[in-house]
Structure 1
Amino acid sequence: MAPIGEKDERMGTTLADDDENESQTLWATILGEVQSSSATNLPSTKSVLVLGDNESGKTTLVARLQGVEEPKKGSGLEYYYIDVKDDYRDDQTHAGVWVLDGDPSHTGLLKFAITEENFENILVLLVASMAQPWSIMESLNKWASYLQEHVDRLKLKPEDRREYEDSLVRFFQEYTEPDENSSGNQVPSHRRDVNPLHPTASHTEEDKVLLPLGENTLSQNLGIPIVVVITKSDAISTLEKQHDFKEEHFDFIQQHIRKFCLHYGASLVYSSVKEEKNCDLLYKYLVHRIYGFPFSSPAYVVEKDCVFVPAGWDNEKKISILYENLNTMKADDCFEDVITKPITRKPIQRDAEVVAEDEQVFLMKQQSILNKQPAPGPAGMEAGKGTPTSEGMLANFFNSLLNKSTAKTPGATKADKAAVSREAAAELERLQKSKKMAPEAKPNGPDSAAS
């Protein structure tokens, strides 16, 4: 039997070991919770790239998503951010937003927005404006081609590129209609350690049968989630009033856009910042696609100015419903042939109309000019004694006319000169009688004797 002191010593050692084990277990639990919570934090590496023509409403749309009233326009490649908050987990972060200028010469700047490193964490907005519906399809196809050219130049591993493309196919195939009774504040269905932009195949649903996609669905798979946003949908009323657009025109436009979205696996949103249409819906859908937030809004294609088509919902059969309303056009007609740009006629520039001056006003102006001129000769000085009067001016005028008519008429005979002199002398005599002119103002030309 061991001494009592030894027994107590062994018991003390055992209690110390138990305390140490309990402490290690506690620290392991704390570290595990920290790791678990960090895995559920909102990532700060997500971003959105906005592409579209100038004046399509890109900057205004981003400002609305930011909650900013005064949008700031720039050039080249601009960077903004959108606040994202998870009220359920009391977490928040920023989503970066790249906005590329509408000048095609700036497409080289895409290398700063989409890289091999951030490829899996970016979503693209293709923006076009309903204010100019005739250019919608041209704009969408143009910017989609710029995006594809840039993606093809990236040095992505073939297996990674294939996985990105397959994830978009899975997202389309696994789409399910949201439960209308579900609450928008429910716990997010996606785990934060899974990238909602590129979800991986679920191991628990390996035996789940996925229907094949349509022939044209994701035929242009870029491996990047795309959302097509048609801005300024409030312009539809203006198009109806000023350009005689009918219901079938907007159905024709919509079916062309939805076919484009099918090719790229894109979502579609009609929005109007001016009338606050679908702006909040777009924000909620973006954080749903990027962060896995819950989203309960179903597709909506009834009203022509607030269309919403989530990725995975649409197909060619649903689009064909729009064909029933096409009366003066066919679904496969060329877009530019049906939705034509209105002819704006420039105002005709006409020469300024010249209004003839009243005859009496004109003559009075001429008389005023003559009165200001000095008398031509000594006779005028004698008549006015330094300041010729109007009568003297007229006498001198006819006197000089008499002299010029007789002296500068080439080939004139003496009889002709005499006739002219007689006429001038008679007119001068008439003026003298009516104005009581001085006798010294009589003509003194060389042929005055002939009168």
Structure 2
Amino acid sequence: MSSHRHSSNFPTRRPNSKDEDKEEIWKPMLDSISSGKRLPEKSLLVLGGTPETQREFLESVSTEASTNRRPPDRGRKPPIANQFALGYTYQDVLDTDHEDTLARLSLYLLATPSPSFTPLIKPYLNPRTLPHTLVVILLDWNYPWLWIRQLRDWIRVLRSLILSLDDAAKEVLEENISTLQDKGRSMGGADGNSALDNVKVPLGPGEWDEPLGIPLCVVCQNADKIEALERERGWKEEQFDFILQYLRTILLKHGSSLVYTMPTAPGSLQTLIHSTLGIKSLLKQKQLKHNVTDRDRVLVPPNWDSWAKIRILREGFDVEGVSEKWSVDIDPPRHMMPAPNGQATAGAEEHENGTVPPEEDEGPTATTVYEETIRNPETEFSLTTLHTKQANGLEVSSKDGQNFLKEQVDILEVLRREDEAEAAIKAARKDVDPTYRTWSEDVSGVVEEHIGPVQFNMGGIQVNADEMVKRLQDREASRSSEPEAPGSPTPDPNKMDNEKLMSFFSGLINKGSGSSAK
């Protein structure tokens, strides 16, 4: 009993300070393991395009360049919300074997370069995210004449957005500029084992003149339309080279990369984006190789281009002039300058329909020079001043319907007056000379004389219509001259004529059939 009572009354064991120390040891260890397996977060700010072309870009980003296949979906496919204002989706970047996840890529999508949307982007550009963010501007080969204007509008939005950031974010941008300018500019080569790794290539003329602090990549989609432009619009190599030289010149000022893609062949787009964001494969190191010779597969990596390389493509291109004018074009106008509270003053000077006030005309700009050469076919059939004669052009510009009808009314009025004047002249001549005959009357007599009498076949007998009508008229005249019997009803002349014609033709038919029977 005592033993039982003793066991039941035995006090429970309480943790001491040593147990608490063990708990404090395990917690930091678990936290460190959890943070070690946390995925690196990268951001992609996609500007321009349409909801459809943005989706095509997302497909191209997730497509392997070597196999041209998308990685298998793991579970539920992330939704894409890009129909209104600022859209969002995400992608998990998988390694080559599709087993390890290298990073989580967050994509923010904006299609309209309106300053009103700037406050939507600003929260995602902070000191933590800026070192891991890439800006992508989408252009479409269906509308190459709009490219420079679109680039100008987006660069203005980005510059006004950068000006509105706080001091901490601007310090990070300054650090990014230094890092981006030095990236890949060593003289040691690609292997990185040379003694010249620490020797940096100095910046050349026109390079990094207008740095943004955020890496920039311009993607020209639907490069397969280049062949259609050549076949249907009559474009030549001069136009394509001019566009490429223009893009490379202005993008060189921002340290931007350039790539042409098409839905069936995204090329090195994925490799370019991953290398810019610092996403490296654990199994295979992918190298970027420039390409400026294949007009539908262009790739210009960052920190590779220069004015000398741009001039090689085609002589006569004004690199200096375009570079200088572009610096003026991208200055944000007054309605996009940040207000004292850090937001763009877009609504202050916008019109009621949402458009911004027109800019003052200060002579040719980089945008107008480009658009004078690469023309919009909807406004002018001659697309370029380099090639004004469109030998195989299929489209022509049509006039406005009301203007066309007005011109036709004027033409008809002139013709009516001419007819009236001619009729008056003919009437006056006939009054003076009754024997005067017009040209049309003379022609009518000549035609009748040329074709001769009208004949037709009746039961095998060739009948002269004119002679037959004359005989009927003579017979009718002779009968009408005979006296009528008193009290006889007055016959209907129309009925009599019909009966006489029927009996006459019947006699001819019977005569023809009788003669043939013999």
TM-score, length-scaled by structure 2: 0.51
For each residue in 1:105-136, what CA deviation from the matched residue of structure 2 results, as whole angstroms up to 9, or x when unmatched? 65332224434442222110011112111111
Tell me the distance in 2 between the aligned counterparts of 1:431 and 1:257: 99
Match of 1:120 among 105, 112, 131: 131
Q: Which residue of 1 aligns with 2:48?
A: 52
Paired residue secondary structure (1:165): helix
Q: Which residue of the partner structure matches residue 335 of structure 1?
A: 370
CA distance in 1 between partners of 2:239 and 2:221 (Å): 17
User: Within the alignment, does 1:163 sit opposite 2:175 as a pair?
Assistant: yes
User: 311-320 vs 71-80, which deviates more?
Assistant: 71-80
CA contact 2:187–2:200 (8 Å) conserved in 1: no
The match for 1:98 among 95, 108, 112 is: 108
The answer to whether 1:83 aligns with 2:92 is yes
1:431 and 1:120, CA in 2 relative to 1: closer, same or farther beyond 3 A? farther
Give the Cα separation in 1 of the matches to 2:295 and 2:491. Answer: 88
Residue 102 of structure 1 and its aligned partner are, at CA, apart by 2.4
Q: What is the distance in 1 between the residues matched to 2:242 and 2:131?
A: 34
1:57 and 1:112 mapped to 2: Cα distance? 25
Equivalent residue number for residue 346 of structure 1? 398
Contact 1:77–1:98 (CA<8 Å) still a contact in 2?
Answer: yes
SS at match of 1:303: coil
Q: 1:64 to 1:341 in 2, by over 3 A?
A: same
Of 249, 255, 261, 2:245 maps to 255
In the other structure, the counterpart of 1:287 is: 274
Deviation at 1:104, TM superposition (A): 2.2
1:321 matched to 2:312 = yes
- The CA deviation at 1:434 is 4.4
SS of corresponding position for 1:84: strand
Please state how far the C-alpha of 1:317 moved relative to its aligned partner: 1.0
Matched, 1:217 2:217: no
- 1:265-300 CA distances to partner (integer Å, 9 max, x unpaired)? 011110011x3242xx21122122213413313111
Instruction: Tell me which residue corresponds to 1:173.
Output: 185
Residue 64 of structure 1: aligned partner: 60
Name the CA shift for 1:295/1:76 in 2 (closer, same or farther; >3 Å): same
**1:423-438 mapped onto 2 (5 Å cutoff):** 434=494
Q: Give the partner amino acid of 1:340.
A: R
Query: Deviation digits for residues 134-180 of structure 1, max 9, x if unmatched?
Result: 1111111211111111011110335433212111111153387646x
One-letter amino acid of the counterpart of residue 294, structure 2: E
Q: 1:312 and 1:103, CA in 2 relative to 1: closer, same or farther beyond 3 A?
A: closer
Q: Corresponding residue for 1:142?
A: 153
Superposed displacement of residue 346, structure 1: 3.2
Gaps of 5+ in 1: 1-23, 183-188, 190-203, 352-429, 437-451
Taking a change above 3 Å as real, the CA distance of residues 176 and 285 of structure 1, as seen in their structure-2 partners, is: farther
Cα 1:51–1:33 shift into 2, 3 Å: same
Q: Match of 2:258, as an amino acid?
A: L
Q: Distance in 1 between matches of 2:32 and 2:199?
A: 35
- The question of whether the paired residues in 1 share the 8 Å contact of 2:87 and 2:109 is answered with yes
- Match of 2:57, as an amino acid? L
Preserved contact between residue 86 and residue 108 of structure 2 (Cα < 8 Å)? yes
- Structure 1 counterpart of 2:300: 309
Q: Within 5 Å, which residues of 2 pair with 1:238-277?
A: 238-273=228-263, 275-277=264-266
One-letter amino acid of the counterpart of residue 397, structure 2: R
The total of aligned residue pairs comes to: 305
Given that 1:52 and 1:140 are in contact with CA atoms closer than 8 Å, whether structure 2 keeps it comes out as no
* TM-score of the pair, normalised by structure 1: 0.58
Alpha-carbon distance in structure 2 between the residues aligned to 1:111 and 1:286: 22
- Say whether the 8 Å CA contact 2:138–2:218 is kept in structure 1: yes
Query: How far did 1:59 drift?
Result: 2.9
**Residue type at the aligned position of 2:249:** K
Residues 187, 197 of structure 2: 8 Å contact kept: no
Distance 2:252 2:242 in 1: 16
Tell me the CA shift for residue 431 of structure 1.
11
Kindly state the Cα deviation for residue 312 of structure 1 after the two structures are TM-superposed: 1.3
> For structure 2, which runs of at least 5 residues remain unmatched after alignment?
1-21, 63-69, 323-368, 382-395, 406-489, 497-518
Q: Distance in 1 between matches of 2:187 and 2:87?
A: 33
Q: Which residue of 1 aligns with 2:226?
A: 236
Distance 1:102 1:60, change over 3 A: farther
Q: Is contact 1:116-1:156 (8 Å) kept?
A: no
Distance in 1 (CA, whole Å) between partners of 2:188 and 2:227 is: 34
Q: Which amino acid aligns with 2:312?
A: I
